[in-house]
Structure 1
Amino acid sequence: MNYTTFKQLEKIFWNALSIKSYHEPHIQAYLSSVTAVAGFNLLYVENGASLSALENALNWYRSQKRDATIVCEKGAASKLLNDHQESLQLSPEDPTTAMMLDLTTWQPLTNRVNDFLINEIKAPLDDWAKPLSTAFSDGETALTDFDLEITAQYQKAHEEALTNHAPIHHFVIRVAGIPVCNLSLTLTKEGARFDDIGTDIHEQGKGYATTLIQHALLFAKEKGATIAALESSTAGLSIYQKLGFKALFEYEAFAWEYHD
Structure 2
Amino acid sequence: MYADATCDLSTRYHLTEDHYFAATCALHRRYSAGINAYFIDEHFVPWNLLFIRVGSAPSGEAMVQPLELIRRTLIEIRVVIHEEKVQGLREVLTGLDFQPAEKTTVMVLQLSRFVPSKSEGGVQISLTRDLNAWAIPLGNAFAMLPESVVHYQERHQRALEADETLYHFTLSVEGQVSSSLTLSLCKGEARLNDVGTLISFRGRGYATQLIQAALLHAAALGANRCFLEASEGAVPLYCKLGFERLFDYQSFTRQAVAVP
TM-score (norm 1): 0.89
Query: In structure 2, what is the equivalent of residue 130 of structure 1?
Result: 136
TM-score (norm 2): 0.89
RMSD: 1.9
Query: In structure 2, what is the equivalent of residue 28 of structure 1?
Result: 36
Bigger drift between 61-70 and 157-166 goes to 61-70
Give the SS at the match of 1:192.
strand
Q: Distance in 1 between matches of 2:70 and 2:156?
A: 22
Task: Give the superposition deviation at 1:86.
Answer: 2.6
1:129–1:19 Cα change, 3 Å = same
Indicate if the aligned counterparts of 1:22 and 1:57 stay in contact, CA closer than 8 A.
Answer: no
Task: Give the superposition deviation at 1:121.
Answer: 1.2
Unaligned runs of 5+ in 2: 1-7
Query: In structure 2, what is the equivalent of residue 72 of structure 1?
Result: 81
Task: Give the superposition deviation at 1:8.
Answer: 0.3
Task: Give the superposition deviation at 1:120.
Answer: 1.0
Task: Give the superposition deviation at 1:150.
Answer: 1.1
* One-letter code aligned to 1:18: C
The count of residues paired between Structure 1 and Structure 2 equals: 247
Q: What does 1:6-21 align with in structure 2 at a 5 Å threshold?
A: 6-21=13-28
1:224–1:251 Cα change, 3 Å = same
Indicate if the aligned counterparts of 1:61 and 1:258 stay in contact, CA closer than 8 A.
Answer: no
Query: In structure 1, what is the equivalent of residue 69 of structure 2?
Result: 60
* One-letter code aligned to 2:21: W
Task: Give the superposition deviation at 1:213.
Answer: 0.2
Q: Distance in 2 between matches of 1:200 and 1:36?
A: 25
Q: What does 1:1-260 align with in structure 2 at a 5 Å threshold?
A: 1-25=8-32, 26-33=34-41, 35-37=45-47, 41-47=50-56, 48-50=58-60, 53-60=62-69, 65-75=74-84, 77-111=85-119, 113-122=120-129, 124-137=130-143, 147-259=145-257
Q: Deviations over 1:144-176 (max 9, x none)?
A: xx7111111100000011111110000000011
Q: Distance in 2 between matches of 1:62 and 1:161?
A: 30
Task: Give the superposition deviation at 1:258.
Answer: 4.3
Task: Give the superposition deviation at 1:105.
Answer: 1.3
Query: In structure 1, what is the equivalent of residue 4 of structure 2?
Result: none
Q: Distance in 1 between matches of 2:255 and 2:30?
A: 20
* One-letter code aligned to 1:49: S
Unaligned runs of 5+ in 1: 138-145
Query: In structure 1, what is the equivalent of residue 5 of structure 2?
Result: none
Q: Distance in 1 between matches of 2:209 and 2:197?
A: 11
Indicate if the aligned counterparts of 1:61 and 1:67 stay in contact, CA closer than 8 A.
Answer: no
Task: Give the superposition deviation at 1:57.
Answer: 1.6
Indicate if the aligned counterparts of 1:136 and 1:201 stay in contact, CA closer than 8 A.
Answer: no
1:7–1:184 Cα change, 3 Å = same
* One-letter code aligned to 1:73: H
Task: Give the superposition deviation at 1:64.
Answer: 5.6
Q: Distance in 2 between matches of 1:202 and 1:100?
A: 29
Task: Give the superposition deviation at 1:67.
Answer: 1.8
Q: Distance in 1 between matches of 2:18 and 2:155?
A: 16
